[in-house]
Structure 1
Amino acid sequence: MSLSIILPAKNEASALAVLLPCLKAAQPTAEIIVVDDGSTDNTAAICADCGVSRLPSPYSMGNGAAVKRGARVATREVLVFMDGDGQHDPGDIARMLEKLDQGYDMVVGARDWGSQAGIGRGVANTLYNWLASRMTGHMVADLTSGFRAVRADKFREFLHMLPNGFSYPTTSTMAFFRSAYPVAYIPIKAAQRVGSSHIRPLRDGLRFLLIIFKIGTLYSPLKLFAPVSALFFLLGCANYAWTYMHEGRLTNMSTLMWSAAVVVFLIGLVSEQITVLTYKARI
C-alpha cells in the first residue's frame, strides 16, 4: 500500500532530528509530511536536511488543524499519523499496515499504562476507553492515541467534523465506528517525549472533560442522555416518596427533577436526529 506519514509538529526540532532519519530508514518509499504548526525553532532546517516535505503555517492553528492540513495534501492511499515529539516508534508502522491489510479501515496504536503521561492522564484515558466501549459495543483500547493508520478516502470523509485542538483522535475514532468502518488496535510502547508537552492541565482540562460528551454525541446521543434522564426521573420519584410519607405532599424538588428528566431526554432525542442527519450526508 502506498503510504503518507503525517507529523504535526510545533517546536519539535530536537525530536525531529532523530525521528525523521529513523522514519526514512523504516519506510523508505513513504511520503513524509511534517506539518509545521507555527514553529519558531529550526524545524524548517531539520526538514530540509532530512529531505522531507514541510507544510508551514504562519501561526499555530492546533494539533487537529495540522492533521487536517496534512491529510488534504497527502497523495497516497494510506495515511499514518504520529506525533513529532519522538514518542512513537517508526518500527510499529509495519505492524499497523499488516493489520490494515486484514480488512480494517483504521488501526490505532494502543498505549499500555506505563506509556501514559502521568497518573491523571492514565485515569482519564481509562474512563474514556470504558465509556467509548460501552457506547459503541466494541472494545476501545485507546481512544485518544495520536498514532494511527487510516485509509485516506475514508478519513477525508470526516475532515469537516475534526476539531482544531487535541481531540481529533476521539472524533475520528467515533466517526469510523458510527459509519461501520472497521477499527483495530495493536499494542505499542510510547517513549518519553523529547522536550515539554504543549498540553497544559489548567488550560486543556475542560477540553478533555468535553471529550466525554463528544463520545456520546458523535455516536449515539440517546445512549448517553437516556440514562441521565432516567436518573433524574428516579430521583424525582424517590424524593416524592420521601416527602409524601413525611409531609404528605408533592414538593417543587420532585417536579423539578421530573421536568429535568423530560428536558434531558428531549435534548438527547434532538441530538440523535442531528447525528443521523450528519452521517446521512456521508452515505
Structure 2
Amino acid sequence: MSLKRVVALIPAFNEEKYIGATVASLAALPEVNEIVVVDDASTDRTAQLAAAAGARVISMPRNSGKGAALNRGSADINAGVIMLLDGDLGETAREARWLLEPVLAGQADMTVARFPPPRRKGGFGLVKGLARKGIKFYTGLEMQSPLSGQRVMTRQVMEKLLPFASGYGVEVGLTIKAVRAGFKVLEVPVQMTHAETGRDLKGFWHRGRQFCHVALVLARAAVK
C-alpha cells in the first residue's frame, strides 16, 4: 500500500440531488485514487448515481447512521490517506484539495474544513457551541468548525480513531480522540457549501437530535 494513496470515503443517505456532482468533482482531483460511497440504505437513486459518476458503492442492508456507514467503509479501503466527506457538497467537493495538501506534505495528521458563514439562518448556535466548548475542555483545542464532517487524515490516525461514534456525534468524538492521541489537527478554510437546515420544525428536530448525540459523546469522553 502506498502511503500517498488517497481514498475519499463518503457516507450517503438519500443524496441523489448532489452525489453525482460530489463524486465527479472529487474524481477530477489528480491526487484522489479512489472514491468509495457507502450508501446507507437510501430510498432514492443515490447508489446508482454515485456509481455512474465513478464511485465504488458499498450498500448497507439497513439505515444505520453516519458513524456505522463510516465504520463499514473504513474496513473496505486500502489507503495511506483517507478523506471523509459528505455527499451533499456537490461541485464544491473540489475544495477538498486544500484539506489534502497539509496532510500529504506532513504538516498535519488530520485536517478539518472550516466553512464560510452559512447562507441562511439555521439554529441558534447551541449545538456548535456545545461541541466547541466540549472539545476545548477535553483537549485545549480551539475550533471554529467543530461539527465539520469534511476531514482528511492519515491511515495511522484512522486506525487509532476506529470505531467511529454513532449518530451525529461522530465528528466531535474523532476530534477528541485524535488530539488525545497526540496527532496534529489543523483547521483549513475552504469555500465548501452543503445542504443547510432552516428554522423550521424539521431543522429544529435535526438540531435537537444532534445536540443529544454530541452531549452523549462528550459524556463518554469524561470516562475515557
Does the alignment reach a TM-score above 0.5? yes
Distance change in 2, residues 1:202/1:45 (3 Å): closer
- Hey, what's the Cα distance between the residues in 1 that align with 2:27 and 2:110? 22
How many corresponding residue pairs?
A: 217
1:209: how far off? 3.6
Distance change in 2, residues 1:131/1:52 (3 Å): closer
Give yes or no for the alignment of 1:63 onto 2:66: yes
Name the residue aligned to 1:145.
148
- Hey, what's the Cα distance between the residues in 1 that align with 2:62 and 2:32? 30
Deviation digits for residues 164-217 of structure 1, max 9, x if unmatched? 212111110000111111111011233242999xx7633661551452453364
Instruction: Provide TM-score, normalisation by structure 2.
Output: 0.84
Name the residue aligned to 1:180.
182
Deviation digits for residues 133-170 of structure 1, max 9, x if unmatched? 2432222222111000011232122223x222121111
Q: Give the helix-richer structure, 1 or 2.
A: 1
Instruction: Name the aligned partner's letter for residue 95 of structure 2.
Output: D
Deviation digits for residues 230-259 of structure 1, max 9, x if unmatched? xxxxxxxxxxxxxxxxxxxxxxxxxxxxxx
Select which of 3, 8, 17 maps to 1:5.
Answer: 8
1:102: how far off? 3.4
| Contact persistence 1:7–1:83 (CA under 8 A) | yes
Name the residue aligned to 1:36.
39
Instruction: Name the aligned partner's letter for residue 154 of structure 2.
Output: R
Name the residue aligned to 2:214.
211
Instruction: Name the aligned partner's letter for residue 118 of structure 2.
Output: G
Kindly report the root-mean-square deviation, in angstroms, between the aligned alpha carbons of the 2 structures.
Answer: 2.6
Name the residue aligned to 1:14.
17
Greater CA radius of gyration, 1 or 2? 1
Give unpaired runs (5+ residues) of structure 1. Answer: 222-270, 276-283
Instruction: Provide TM-score, normalisation by structure 1.
Output: 0.68
- Hey, what's the Cα distance between the residues in 1 that align with 2:192 and 2:32? 24
Select which of 97, 106, 110 maps to 1:106.
Answer: 110
Give unpaired runs (5+ residues) of structure 2. Answer: none
- Hey, what's the Cα distance between the residues in 2 that align with 1:28 and 1:180? 26
Distance change in 2, residues 1:2/1:20 (3 Å): same
Give yes or no for the alignment of 1:89 onto 2:89: no
Instruction: Name the aligned partner's letter for residue 167 of structure 2.
Output: G
Higher relative contact order (CA 8 A, sep 6+): 2
Distance change in 2, residues 1:47/1:114 (3 Å): closer
1:116: how far off? 7.7
- Hey, what's the Cα distance between the residues in 1 that align with 2:73 and 2:23? 16
